[in-house]
Structure 1
Amino acid sequence: MTERASPDDAPRDWPESGDDAPAPRLSREQAQALRARQPSVSPWRVVAAQGIAGVLCCALAWVITQRPSAVWSALYGAAASVLPSALLVRGMTRGTRDPAAAAVGFMFWEMVKVGVAIAMLAIATRVVPQLSWPALLATMLVCLKVNWLALLWRGR
């Protein structure tokens, strides 16, 4: 008959450090110093940067193609990225102090963001005459990648 090992017999690779103890409260000065070391980026600033990137892509589409349809397609691609992101930010900045509600709210607004983006792509051929899918998708991709710049704005 084989003996089963109990969970208490399992080897532990980490030292017992009393992780159950609550974290010490920070003084006002300590909290301000921590915020100064780790600045946050406004989500509205990221949405604005997405819009600027979209306008730059529209200008680039004009320079490359000299076709108004490519510019309108690029503009619609920017809108299909920026408007859903703005909805997400609006929903998330209304604020709640309950962590569980914030997590559920984030999931809800992210689902709304994805749904709106998909809906905008689905109706793109009806909204933009002579739609240029490469211009639309390239602009949308550039606008979505602007989110990564927020990490660079924060610094190390």
Structure 2
Amino acid sequence: MTEPLDRGGASEDGNDDQPFKTLTRQEAQALRGRIPQVSPWRVVAVQALAGLLCTAIAVVVTQLMGQGSGAAWSALYGAAAVVLPAALLARGMTRGTRNAVAAAVGFMFWEMLKIAVAIAMLVIAAKVVPNLSWPVLLVTMVVCMKVNWLALLWRRR
């Protein structure tokens, strides 16, 4: 039989076998200071700006083509269908709790509420938005949702 290679104390899954160290309050605060945090409200604000930009583009394109304002209203509603549920989630998550279990349950609750509100807004979209353009609404929603990825870039700075 061959002997297993010595990996310098690493287990099979690549994690070190060193014991877990509990941080003191000062060490935890220092660690938080080194890791940049992104406010969920900042992400919601940038989503709203992206939605307004998509709406402005829809207005310009429809004016150039001589069409009605259905595309602009569709873009604005698509942005609202992302931004309003995200604002609900941000509100729920920034209320602060010290209990880890309560925070996890709270996150699940607010995330389910966010999804339910977004679905409800999409279900009533045809009745609320005059001359609804589904492609414009969906493209605006995708653009607003993808803004979340910019939060990763903000963290690196």
TM class by shorter chain equals 0.7 to 0.9
| Aligned position for 2:58 | 61
| Aligned position for 2:102 | 101
Code of the aligned partner of 1:134:
P
Residues 83, 24 of structure 1: CA spacing in aligned structure 2 closer, same or farther, 3 A cutoff?
closer
Identical aligned pairs, as a percentage? 65
| Unaligned residue ranges in structure 2 (runs of 5+) | 1-10
- State the SS of the aligned residue for 1:88: helix
TM-score calculated relative to the size of structure 1: 0.83
Residues 3-152 of structure 1: matches in 2 within 5 Å? 13=12, 17=17, 19=19, 21-25=20-24, 28=26, 30-66=27-63, 67-152=68-153
Deviations 1:121-151 (A, max 9, x none): 0000000011010111111111111111101
Residues 98, 69 of structure 1: CA spacing in aligned structure 2 closer, same or farther, 3 A cutoff?
same
Tell me how far 1:18 sits from its aligned partner.
Answer: 5.0
Tell me how far 1:32 sits from its aligned partner.
Answer: 5.0
| Unaligned residue ranges in structure 1 (runs of 5+) | 1-11
What is the aligned length? Answer: 142
- State the SS of the aligned residue for 1:91: helix
Deviations 1:7-58 (A, max 9, x none): xxxxx63798453x542426x3x55543343110110000000000000000
TM-score calculated relative to the size of structure 2: 0.82
